Amino acid sequence: MTGKNKALIVVGTILILLWCLTPVAWIISLSFKSQQAITNGSPGFFPADGDGAGWQNYVDVINDEQFRRAIFNSIGISLIATLLSVIIATLAAYAIARLEFKGKKLVLTLALVIAMFPVVSLVGPLFDMWRAIGIYDTWLGLIIPYMSFTLPLAIWTLSAFFREIPWEMEQAAQVDGATSWQAFRKVIVPLAAPGVFTAAILTFFFAWNDFVFGISLTSTERARPIPAALSFFVGADPFNRPASLLAAGAVVATIPIIVIVLLFQRKIVAGLTSGAVKG
């Protein structure tokens, strides 16, 4: 690599970091502006002198009953949907990667179609149906669509992982005296664990990020997840949003994502690229 190329790459790397982190820094900075300053207008990236609020916005957000409830809803709903989706996807992906059966193409096609489905076109009928069977504005009412819409990604990611496990492993286990179940449990599951884990992270991201179902299929704080709650969080004056308070809420809602990214960035990248490109 020549010196000129090196310099280009260093510059490029810095640009990527700026691109990714500036808005994050901005929302954090905004969350430290006082609400008084926001109402009066407080332009600029950093809080001006005397406009700082310290941790006040965070204290206010955490003390807000609705916000706490929304965080609780989001964590609960996302975790349950993730767990169930990954279990179901593991079974399906194993079958797709390993077994010959009729209808395999159908499952793959269905998954592909659903991955491209315009979710908004479903909220009307689902709204209607969920009210009819009584799961409108409940956790279950959100868990079901989250599972359905995360299944395609989970199935792709997992079947890519399963396919990378050499066939010989299972056959060797069988020859060594294992039953199908033993071969699955002692050889395949340990080997696929990283894949299952990656699929779980990506599924969790989806559920955590969802907005359309969150605002359409809930009406109260009973089941309203955090993105929907943030969007309804207008404060006293609808024309004058409490931006800094919202920013604090947004930062809190982003913390779980950042923690997951920090811990598992390698796995997430592997999962994203294997699921979407190689699949």
Strand, helix or coil at 55? coil
Give the tokens for residue 80: 């349950």
Shortest separation between residue 272's beta carbon and other proteins, angstroms:
5
The dihedral over CA atoms of 86, 88, 94, 97, expressed in degrees to the nearest 10, equals: -90
- For residue 184, give the DSSP letter: I
Looking at beta carbons only, is 59 or 255 nearer to other proteins? 255
Q: At its nearest, how many Å lie between other proteins and the CB of residue 75? A: 13
- Compare residues 59 and 112 and give the one whose CB is closer to other proteins: 112
Choose between 55 and 164: whose C-beta lies nearer to other proteins: 164
**Shortest separation between residue 221's beta carbon and other proteins, angstroms:** 17
CB of 223: closest distance to other proteins in angstroms?
15
Report how far apart the first and last C-alpha atoms of the chain are (Å, whole number).
33
CB of 66 to other proteins, least distance (A): 15
Q: Which residue, 59 or 169, has its beta carbon nearer to other proteins?
A: 169
Q: Which is nearer to other proteins, 15 or 59 (CB)?
A: 15
Q: What angle do CA 179, 181, 185 make, to 5 degrees?
A: 120
Alpha helices (H) along the chain: 3-31, 35-40, 56-63, 65-98, 104-115, 120-133, 139-164, 167-175, 180-183, 189-209, 212-216, 226-232, 243-273
Q: Find, among 101, 198, 99, 221, the residue nearest to 150 by Cα.
A: 198
Shortest distance in whole angstroms from residue 147 CB to other proteins:
6
Nearer to other proteins, 92 or 196 (CB): 92
